[in-house]
Amino acid sequence: MSERAKPGRYAFAALIALGILNHMVLSGSRVTVSLYALAQGATPLIVGVLSGLYAFLPMLLAVSAGRLSDRIGVRRPMLLGSAGLALGAAVAWALPGLGPLYFTTSLLGVSFMLFQVAAQNATGDFGEPSERARNFSMLALGYSTSGFCGPLLAGFLIDHTSFGTTFGLLALLPLVPVAVLSRGSPALPAHHAEHAQAARGSVTDLLRQGRMRRVFIVNALLAMAWDLHTFFIPIYGAKIGLSASRIGVILASFAAATFAVRLLMPRIARRFSEFEVLTAALFIAGLAYALFPFVEQVGPLMTLSFTLGLALGSGQPMVMSLLHTMAPAGRMGEAAGVRMMIVNASTVAVPLLFGAVGSTLGLAPVFWSVGVALAGGGVFARKR
């Protein structure tokens, strides 16, 4: 079934629901993979490699995935990505041990990227241009929900069942999107092949645009802070003796904050410009990272994670709204792919770099250096 021209609100709500199920696999697997690897005796560097593999193939293939969704429409990339998520989690369930995790993390990362780029491409075409910021906020709200439920569910299952059971349950979740999308539901925005044909160009053309380049840089900093929180909280929590459930609660408090701030984004967007929101997010996130090494109790850690979630959760809807407004006709998928390529390049490098630093110098220098980088990004965004 081809995408219909004017899908309604039900279709958009269904798209968000499918994204929630798929993102629960990604967010839940991140904490499961980290804790399972540590239980197998892995060092922070090895955990960093596994975390980086989530982003390695997306870094290489995101632009191609964006162009694919521009060229053939969004349904088939979303279906393929959902099937890949189910397979990736199933491999970790069927093949215990540290080795299969390298394949699992790689497949989960590229599969969710394929789904996400197509979903973001579709979101910008739902409704009128004036509704774009609200729609991206609603999509981000869905990912906040799954970002909360995924780690919480994974931590609970790890403590009360086993790592294998956790991977097995995660493998079942994407089967719902596979079934729904393969039946031709939900209705999705029409695919305009003529736009994609008329809008050919290189990635360099997009990066030459000063405002787009600025947005890409700011988003890369925010994404680095987001991924580092996901990567280091399990390591930091295990180092100070926290259980998997408590680590899951800390990660869930971050997701709860992203949900809360995105719920308020329509009001925030009416009062402040996109760059004002992004500047504030960078400064607040930098301060939160500077304070992490001084905190070892669950309550204060939840407070810092919640504060960090408020800052970082406000960034993505603003970034996606800006890109969809500035991207040439027929190249929104490509612009989303460029953004994801840059983000994932940072995600590949950051766990490896900071995993090595954490293994040699400890975790405090990691938190402080990221805090300085974010504060510098705030100065850069403010001087736009």
pLDDT tens, 213-258? 788 888 888 888 887 887 778 888 888 888 878 888 888 888 888 8
Band of pLDDT at residue 1, cut at 50, 70 and 90: very low
Measuring CA to CA, how many Å separate 55 from each of 43, 107, 341, 353? 20, 10, 9, 14
pLDDT of 100 over the 60 cut: yes
Evaluate whether 343 touches 219 at the Cβ level (below 8 Å): yes
Band of pLDDT at residue 2, cut at 50, 70 and 90: very low
pLDDT on residue 198: 47
pLDDT of 323 over the 50 cut: yes
pLDDT of 212 over the 70 cut: yes
Please state the rounded mean pLDDT for residues 306-315. Answer: 90
Residue that wins the pLDDT comparison between 101 and 315 = 101
Measuring CA to CA, how many Å separate 264 from each of 84, 167, 281? 33, 34, 14
pLDDT on residue 5: 42
Measuring CA to CA, how many Å separate 351 from each of 85, 131, 132? 22, 36, 33
Max mean pLDDT range (61-65, 206-210, 302-306): 302-306
Band of pLDDT at residue 3, cut at 50, 70 and 90: very low
What are the residues whose beta carbons fall under 8 Å from the beta carbon of 382, sequence distance 6 or more? 279
Handedness of CA 133, 142, 341, 215 (dihedral sign): positive
- The reply to whether omega before 365 is within 30° of 0 (cis) is no
Phi, psi (deg, nearest 5) at residue 183: -90, 0
Residue that wins the pLDDT comparison between 207 and 153 = 153
pLDDT on residue 188: 75
Measuring CA to CA, how many Å separate 361 from each of 5, 110, 256, 352, 366? 56, 32, 32, 14, 9
The pLDDT tens digits of the residues spanning 63-91 come to 888 888 878 888 899 999 999 999 999 99
pLDDT of 4 over the 50 cut: no
The pLDDT tens digits of the residues spanning 346-375 come to 777 776 777 777 666 667 777 888 888 888
Band of pLDDT at residue 201, cut at 50, 70 and 90: low
The SS3 call for residue 314 is: coil
* Mean pLDDT rounded to a whole number for the chain: 82
Handedness of CA 112, 115, 117, 122 (dihedral sign): negative
Please state the rounded mean pLDDT for residues 154-176. Answer: 91
Return the ∠ at Cα 319 (arms to 313 and 320), rounded to 5°. Answer: 100
Short-list 266, 270, 280, CA closest to 315: 280
The pLDDT tens digits of the residues spanning 252-288 come to 888 888 888 888 887 887 788 778 888 899 999 999 9
Does residue 139 come out as left (phi exceeding 0), alpha (psi in the -120 to 50 range) or beta?
alpha
Band of pLDDT at residue 209, cut at 50, 70 and 90: confident
Evaluate whether 207 touches 338 at the Cβ level (below 8 Å): yes
Q: Which domains does the chain have, with CATH numbers?
A: 9-185+203-382 (1.20.1250.20)
Q: What percentage of the chain has pLDDT greater than the value 90?
A: 24
Max mean pLDDT range (70-84, 197-211, 335-349): 70-84
Residue identified by tokens 């294998």 is: 164
Band of pLDDT at residue 383, cut at 50, 70 and 90: low
Evaluate whether 168 touches 13 at the Cβ level (below 8 Å): no
pLDDT of 10 over the 70 cut: yes
Q: Which two tokens stand for residue 234?
A: 């399990």
Q: Which two tokens stand for residue 154?
A: 């994974």
pLDDT on residue 204: 74
In the chain, which ranges are continuous DSSP H helix?
A: 9-39, 44-72, 75-94, 100-123, 132-160, 163-172, 175-182, 193-198, 203-207, 210-239, 244-263, 265-271, 274-291, 298-313, 315-326, 332-361, 364-382
User: What is the Cα–Cα distance from 111 to 84, expressed in whole angstroms?
Assistant: 5
